[in-house]
Structure 1
Amino acid sequence: MFGKETSPFAKVVTAALEETRQRGDRRLGTEHLLLGLLRDPDSPTARALGVRVADARAALDALDQAALKAIGIDVGVPPKSRPRRHPAVPGTALTTSARAAINQAIKATTRRTRDTAPNHLLLVLLAQSRPDPVAELLDELRIDRSASRARLT
């Protein structure tokens, strides 16, 4: 769907789709793309951010709970139980901002530089502003965007 299935960019998008499915979300958003970038802790993008994927997942859960609480829904502490099985998320179920971020990252590369597409995707995500979910997640994680950009480039 996004080029060779072994390309770094395809791996990131596949990881983002899996993160979307695990959370039980219906559409892949920019926040899922960030989680997909963090899945490989040795990747240049994960090192540039300096955040573990588990911490990003916890921060995203905290944002979800805060949003629900803001409208009067208190979910409390979720019970420790077996994780629910969620159906696969189709690769076409992208939010508008996720589709735009992916397109920008692809357009920023050439055939010879396609392996740098995850770096370009991170740069696109770092440039997002509120109310985009990835901007809120980056703020929740207290990521210094300019320092992350400098470490990546």
Structure 2
Amino acid sequence: MFERFTENARRTISAAVEIAAETGATRAGPEHLLLGLAADERGTAASVLAGYGLTASALRAATPRPGGRRCLTDEETSALRGVGADADEVFRRIEQEFGSAALFDQPEPPVRSRPRDWLAGPLDAGARKVLELCLREAIALRHREISTGHLLLALLRHDLPGPVSTAVRRAGVTYGDARRRVVHALRQPR
């Protein structure tokens, strides 16, 4: 399947792995793929995201940093406020009761060594699922190659994790509208 990816799509996936490593994640996830898409200004996905006002820096700010305190989405924080709770106080009490490491993300356990293909490498299960879905997106559109646009559509179909999902939703990005924009962009001569 790797041979079907365009050069930009391959660069995006490599960038996602680098971004994950920079942020301390043990594997690249869907949020890192989205950051890679936004960072590649030559890609279809970056231009579509820019049309919604989503830049690499805005998405990076919305991406939780592994090894730090687990983030709550805006909806979760609102739900806590709705019942009269303060998120900072909740965190303080959990740390007081269970220790300061209780709210820190734990790294994924190491995968047993076995022969791997390119997709099984430094990507988590969510990112691997996105790569499967981008092949389906390309097939559905009757495209021979898998571009960054197909990666974006697969990410939107898969659902992004918490805070990144909130940022994308706030920008008004929907699968249907993004699909229309990607198809239009892919029809344009380069």
Q: TM-score, normalised by structure 1?
A: 0.69
> Alpha-carbon deviation of 1:151?
1.8
Residue 10 of structure 1 corresponds to 10
Please tell me whether Structure 1 or Structure 2 has the larger radius of gyration of its CA atoms.
Answer: 2
Residue 27 of structure 1 corresponds to 27
1:143 maps to 2:171: yes
Residues 149 and 109 of structure 1: CA distance in aligned 2, closer, same or farther (over 3 Å): closer
CA contact (8 A) 1:5 1:11 kept: no
CA contact (8 A) 1:17 1:91 kept: no
> Percent identical across equivalent pairs?
27
> Alpha-carbon deviation of 1:150?
2.6
Residue 125 of structure 2 corresponds to 96
Structure 2 Cα separation of the partners of residues 6 and 60 of structure 1: 26
> Alpha-carbon deviation of 1:25?
0.6
Q: TM-score, normalised by structure 2?
A: 0.57
CA contact (8 A) 1:28 1:98 kept: yes
> Alpha-carbon deviation of 1:71?
4.1
Q: How do 1:93-132 residues align onto structure 2 when only pairs under 5 Å count?
A: 93-109=122-138, 113-114=144-145, 116-129=146-159, 132=160
> Alpha-carbon deviation of 1:136?
3.8
1:67 maps to 2:97: no
Structure 2 Cα separation of the partners of residues 36 and 106 of structure 1: 18
Amino acid of the residue matched to residue 126 of structure 1?
Answer: L
Residues 140 and 31 of structure 1: CA distance in aligned 2, closer, same or farther (over 3 Å): same
> Alpha-carbon deviation of 1:31?
0.3
Structure 2 Cα separation of the partners of residues 9 and 124 of structure 1: 12
Aligned-partner SS, 2:28: coil
Deviates more, 1:26-35 or 1:45-54: 45-54
Residues 91 and 39 of structure 1: CA distance in aligned 2, closer, same or farther (over 3 Å): farther
Structure 2 Cα separation of the partners of residues 91 and 7 of structure 1: 19
Structure 1 residues 18-47: Cα deviation after superposition (integer angstroms, max 9, x where no partner): 111111110110000101111112421011
RMSD: 3.3
Aligned-partner SS, 1:14: helix
Q: Which runs of 5+ in 2 are unaligned?
A: 73-87, 101-118, 184-190
Q: Which runs of 5+ in 1 are unaligned?
A: 75-89
1:53 maps to 2:56: yes
Structure 2 Cα separation of the partners of residues 24 and 62 of structure 1: 7
Residue 77 of structure 2 corresponds to none
